[in-house]
Chain A
Amino acid sequence: MSNVHPYVGRAQPRVDGPLKVSGLARYSAEFAAEDMVYAAAVPATIAKGRIVRIDASAAEAAPGVIEILTHQNRPDMPEEDKPYKADMVAVPGGPFRPLRDERVVFSGQPVALVIADTHENARDAATLVKVEYESETPTVDVGDARDGAYEPPEKRNGIPPPPPPRGDAAATFKGSSIRLEEEYRVAAEHHNPMELQATTVEWDDGRLVVHNKTQGVNNPKNYLCSVFGLDPASVEVVSPFVGGAFGMSLRPLYDLTLAVMASLKLERSVRLVLTRAQMYTMGWRPDTLQTVALSAGEDGRLTSIRHEVVQATSQYEDYQEPTVNWSGLVYDCPNVTLGHKLAKLDTPTPSDMRAPGATLGLFALETAMDELASKLKLDPLELRLRNYAENDQNDGKPFSSKELKAAYEQGAERFGWSKRSAEPRSMKDGRELVGYGMATGCWEAMMQPHGASAALTADGRLEVACGTADIGTGTYTILSQIAADAFSMPIEEVTALVGDTRLPMAPVEGGSWAAASAGNAVRLACAALKEELVKRARGLDDSPLANASADHVVFRNGRITLVSDEDVSVSYADLLGAAEGGRIEAMAKFAPDKDFKEKFSSFVHSAVFAEVRVDEELGVVWVERIVSAVAAGNILNRATARSQILGGVVMGIGMALHEETVWDRRLGRIVNANLGEYHVPAHADVKNIDVIFVEEKDEANPLGVKGLGEIGIVGAAAAIGNAVFHATGRRIRHLPITIDKLL
């Protein structure tokens, strides 16, 4: 059977779907090992200070307890920071190391690890470890720390710092009569994937197989080898399924270090599953204070933009994300000043969370644009069109493609934007106020070098592999589609493998680069496998294809067939029969085209439209519907692509209306570190979401793919906030828009 219609571009159901819906997909805490023991981490009850004394005697005497590790008795670890920076996504500073010494740098920091025969015994004994502290006053609110804000001396690798100023924004602003300057704030958020962060270490006579919840197996492997001095040949990380991560599991987290530390010490298999509360003792979306100042002419053309942010980071690292750069990019404006400062808090280091930076920065900018539109008495969409950037305003390069205009048009059409009445509070439905709002979204289309392999296996299947991850993004499926098309094979005969350090090298899965990078790597591996097959076909005794080259043949129905004569062919079975081990494999490496990147800027764009309903007496806001029109190049799988956008939009609804990590400022402790009091959107919060993919041709890579993981959330919160303004006339610049702020 051959497939005439390519799989790429279809709404192909997930190839891992049947496993996931039947509970057979195995996540990191679900691998069983013989003779395994269970660990539980003891959290610090202060946010800042030092441990004075640890009394583990009661815990040691508790049933089933095998070992208790603290900073006092842990195995030797390297002293200097460098080994701990074997982390592809490390940030400037000294990474957190569990059980390093007596210092406490955030509330909930693990101060001891209890290992017992059962999960219950470890958990129980962990509550019996008595720790005495000397406590200092913590700072956990970015507003309290803003006076000490500084420009990070060392820039984070891979994160562009704000571009230098252009023109003279300050003078232009001063001389302008149409202007606004406001402060915006987005509450701290936590990723809260549904799967708990976990590591299961299978110890087998000194060899380790580590199942760690990670967005890229090679990162924990490198880290472990560097920190514990392990031989790379003696440790593999195998994490085929990841229960959501959204950036949280990019860096090696303390469950990994502690579980492996315990396993090496005890020479046994160990499982460590963090609690939901402990999920709040690692990365988070940083609390930010943003100032946006805009000025414009009577014609609605922007004359100046100033966007400055003070972003939270920890005491021990300078985490940075691209928050303000977008304000120099998305609109045509001659005078722009951007600034990014950090403020140190006694919290864990923040980390990338879905569309890091963009989601915050564009909330501020796109809210300010809405405010400007209302000052100018201009339709908010019209204001965007008047300031449309035809090229990258930060560096002057042309875009490799930018169909944002089409996204605006198609989104507005689908949404019925033209029915919006200009005045706030002018649309009603019964007792509810109705509001329409819109915003622009943007994310960089990135790529990273990736390796991949393609193989024909003894059972006649095509196997493609790449050491990337599928965190729910659909990677398994798109790789299968690409491979099936390359060999004109039914997708059922393709196996895709990811999430294993024995597979070809790939970096972490983040930044929306996996589809373009791993996809193109698999495409190249399939091409290399075809070459290899033709070479072998030529070499068969009395080969009918003795003179054929790859351009002269087609691959279909399990055979290599001459284009010019369909009766001349060689079967894969014959090639496999002659192959050692009954397997023929080829490898390939994909690297982004540097020259192309020199010439063009590549971004994904979106236009988000939101309708909200507000019950003013109760202060309750509902998002009635969202239309997200996305220009993201070629869409490999319309079903999984759509799901990516849906997921981003839902998280955007959370950001706009619900999500807020609240610290007790005196104790430095999070008071709502659970899913009951940190509200992530639930079924009842999400009604209608309409996703449009506009046609966009892009040549940054052969598949024409740009990536979709982040763009769905960018702009969503601003569109909702702008809709709330349109409904109520109230401008809420501090997310989330909770009842108390509206009443």
Chain B
Amino acid sequence: MAQAQAAATSVTLTVNGESKTLDVAPWETLLDVLRERLHLTGAKKGCDQGQCGACTVLVDGRRVNSCLQLAVMRDGCEITTIEGLGEPASLHAMQAAFVKHDAFQCGYCTPGQICSAVGMIREGHAETAEEIRELMSGNLCRCGAYTNIVEAIEEVLAERNAPKLEAAE
């Protein structure tokens, strides 16, 4: 083996509520740290260059392509991955809606779609199917589950908006 590793930097990330401090090289992406170092393989790698959305996670509540983030840039941030949204026995509403609407096939784009959908709803710009389609277009699904994904998101949006409507009446 050749010369020693370049200096690593200590980084603290709060991942799914747990604080993690690790030494990372400056060129390690958030996605690779999640997958290879923390074994949180729910965030997927589909392109490694910001073109597919499979790696979408929530950073301080906002959806980001984790393959385009260097881990050192996110020191001190809160990261939520699909594993942190819910587990099989206690699914997040968006995860449950995806199962109900068969909003996936191979499941590989799915964690990214779900994190992206959760982030998108928080952004508050999506109301109609048309808007959902536009704002979800950074998340590719080669299995073509798009119409079912939109239905799942619409259902979660409707549930979320329902109490608001009642309160307004």
Q: Which among A129-137, A379-387, A425-433, A684-692 touches the partner chain?
A: A684-692
- Once the chains bind, are A643 and B107 in contact (CB under 8 Å)? no
B134 CB-CB contact with A under 8 Å:
yes
Closest residue of chain B to A644 (Cβ to Cβ) is B105
Closest residue of chain A to B136 (Cβ to Cβ) is A683
Minimum CB–CB distance from A466 to chain B (whole Å) comes to 18
- Once the chains bind, are A193 and B106 in contact (CB under 8 Å)? yes
- Once the chains bind, are B2 and A64 in contact (CB under 8 Å)? yes
Q: Which among A319-327, A471-479, A521-529, A534-542 touches the partner chain?
A: A471-479
Residues of A within 8 A of B54 (CB): 194
Interface residue from B82, B106, B148 paired with A244 (Cβ < 8 Å): B106
Question: Which A residues, 204 to 243, have Cβ-Cβ distances below 8 Å to chain B?
Answer: 241-243
Interface residue from B27, B86, B110, B144 paired with A686 (Cβ < 8 Å): B144
- Once the chains bind, are A683 and B98 in contact (CB under 8 Å)? no
Minimum CB–CB distance from A280 to chain B (whole Å) comes to 12
- Once the chains bind, are A194 and B109 in contact (CB under 8 Å)? yes
Residues of B within 8 A of A649 (CB): 144
- Once the chains bind, are A683 and B146 in contact (CB under 8 Å)? yes
Question: Which A residues, 9 to 39, have Cβ-Cβ distances below 8 Å to chain B?
Answer: 11, 13-14, 16-27, 29-30, 32
B139 CB-CB contact with A under 8 Å:
yes
A60 CB-CB contact with B under 8 Å:
yes
Question: Which B residues, 1 to 43, have Cβ-Cβ distances below 8 Å to chain A?
Answer: 1-6, 25, 27-28, 32, 35-36, 39-43
Closest residue of chain A to B54 (Cβ to Cβ) is A194
Known contacts A243-B106, A683-B136, A683-B137; is-contact A65 B2 (Cβ 8 Å) = yes
Known contacts A647-B144, A682-B137, A684-B137; is-contact A20 B107 (Cβ 8 Å) = yes
Bound together, the chains give a CA A699 to CA B32 distance in angstroms of 51
How many chain B residues sit at the interface, stated as a range, is 35 or more
Tally of A-B Cβ pairs under 8 angstroms: 205
A192 CB-CB contact with B under 8 Å:
yes
- Once the chains bind, are B52 and A195 in contact (CB under 8 Å)? no
- Once the chains bind, are A23 and B108 in contact (CB under 8 Å)? no
Known contacts A24-B83, A194-B54, A647-B145; is-contact A244 B108 (Cβ 8 Å) = yes
B48 CB-CB contact with A under 8 Å:
yes
- Once the chains bind, are A119 and B144 in contact (CB under 8 Å)? no
How many chain A residues sit at the interface, stated as a range, is 35 or more
Residues of B within 8 A of A21 (CB): 82, 91, 95-96, 98-99, 104, 107, 110-111, 114
Main secondary structure of the interface of A (DSSP, over half): loop
B72 CB-CB contact with A under 8 Å:
no
Minimum CB–CB distance from B125 to chain A (whole Å) comes to 14
Closest residue of chain A to B116 (Cβ to Cβ) is A683
- Once the chains bind, are A650 and B2 in contact (CB under 8 Å)? no
Question: Which B residues, 43 to 102, have Cβ-Cβ distances below 8 Å to chain A?
Answer: 43-49, 51-52, 54, 81-83, 85-88, 91, 95-96, 98-100, 102
Residues of B within 8 A of A64 (CB): 1-2, 5
- Once the chains bind, are B4 and A63 in contact (CB under 8 Å)? yes
Minimum CB–CB distance from B151 to chain A (whole Å) comes to 11
A273 CB-CB contact with B under 8 Å:
yes
Minimum CB–CB distance from A728 to chain B (whole Å) comes to 24
- Once the chains bind, are A62 and B47 in contact (CB under 8 Å)? no
Minimum CB–CB distance from A659 to chain B (whole Å) comes to 11
B132 CB-CB contact with A under 8 Å:
yes
Question: Which A residues, 431 to 487, have Cβ-Cβ distances below 8 Å to chain B?
Answer: 471-474
Highest count of chain A CB atoms <10 Å: which of B27, B81, B140: B140
Residues of A within 8 A of B107 (CB): 16, 19-21, 25, 241, 243, 472
Residues of A within 8 A of B40 (CB): 23
B141 CB-CB contact with A under 8 Å:
yes
Q: Mark A114-148, 1 if CB is under 8 A from B, else 0.
A: 00011111001000000000000000000000000
B150 CB-CB contact with A under 8 Å:
yes
Minimum CB–CB distance from B88 to chain A (whole Å) comes to 4
Minimum CB–CB distance from A272 to chain B (whole Å) comes to 13
Bound together, the chains give a CA A656 to CA B122 distance in angstroms of 35
Highest count of chain A CB atoms <10 Å: which of B25, B52, B85: B52
Residues of B within 8 A of A52 (CB): none
- Once the chains bind, are A650 and B146 in contact (CB under 8 Å)? yes
Residues of A within 8 A of B51 (CB): 276, 674-676
Bound together, the chains give a CA A273 to CA B49 distance in angstroms of 15
Highest count of chain A CB atoms <10 Å: which of B36, B41, B46, B144: B144
- Once the chains bind, are B4 and A195 in contact (CB under 8 Å)? no
Bound together, the chains give a CA A121 to CA B4 distance in angstroms of 11
Known contacts A23-B83, A276-B49, A472-B105; is-contact A18 B4 (Cβ 8 Å) = no
- Once the chains bind, are A19 and B5 in contact (CB under 8 Å)? no
Bound together, the chains give a CA A648 to CA B146 distance in angstroms of 12
Minimum CB–CB distance from B98 to chain A (whole Å) comes to 5
Bound together, the chains give a CA A471 to CA B108 distance in angstroms of 10
Residues of B within 8 A of A273 (CB): 45
B160 CB-CB contact with A under 8 Å:
no
- Once the chains bind, are B105 and A244 in contact (CB under 8 Å)? yes
A642 CB-CB contact with B under 8 Å:
yes
Question: Which A residues, 583 to 629, have Cβ-Cβ distances below 8 Å to chain B?
Answer: none
A421 CB-CB contact with B under 8 Å:
no
Interface residue from B86, B91, B110, B134 paired with A683 (Cβ < 8 Å): B134
Highest count of chain A CB atoms <10 Å: which of B4, B39, B106: B106
- Once the chains bind, are A193 and B102 in contact (CB under 8 Å)? no
Highest count of chain B CB atoms <10 Å: which of A60, A192, A194: A194
Q: Mark B108-132, 1 if CB is under 8 A from A, else 0.
A: 1111001000000000000000001
Interface residue from A65, A196, A242 paired with B45 (Cβ < 8 Å): A196
Residues of A within 8 A of B161 (CB): none
Bound together, the chains give a CA A36 to CA B32 distance in angstroms of 15
Minimum CB–CB distance from A32 to chain B (whole Å) comes to 6
B162 CB-CB contact with A under 8 Å:
no
Interface residue from A29, A646, A674, A687 paired with B49 (Cβ < 8 Å): A674
Closest residue of chain A to B149 (Cβ to Cβ) is A683
Cross-chain pairs A/B with CB under 8 angstroms, 17 sampled: A21-B91, A21-B95, A22-B86, A22-B87, A22-B91, A22-B95, A23-B43, A63-B3, A64-B5, A120-B25, A193-B106, A193-B142, A194-B46, A195-B46, A276-B51, A472-B105, A639-B102
Q: A22-B88, A689-B147 are known; give 16 further A-B pairs, CB within 8 A.
A: A22-B85, A24-B88, A60-B2, A63-B4, A65-B2, A119-B36, A120-B32, A193-B106, A195-B46, A244-B108, A640-B105, A643-B105, A650-B144, A675-B46, A681-B146, A682-B138
Query: When A and B form their complex, which 8 residue pairs have the shortest distance between CB atoms, in order from nearest?
Result: A23-B42, A650-B144, A243-B108, A472-B106, A20-B107, A472-B105, A23-B82, A18-B88
- Interface of A with B (CB < 8 Å)? 11, 13-14, 16-27, 29-30, 32, 60-66, 117-121, 124, 191-196, 241-246, 273, 275-276, 471-474, 639-640, 642-644, 646-651, 674-676, 680-684, 686-689
- Interface of B with A (CB < 8 Å)? 1-6, 25, 27-28, 32, 35-36, 39-49, 51-52, 54, 81-83, 85-88, 91, 95-96, 98-100, 102, 104-111, 114, 132-134, 136-150
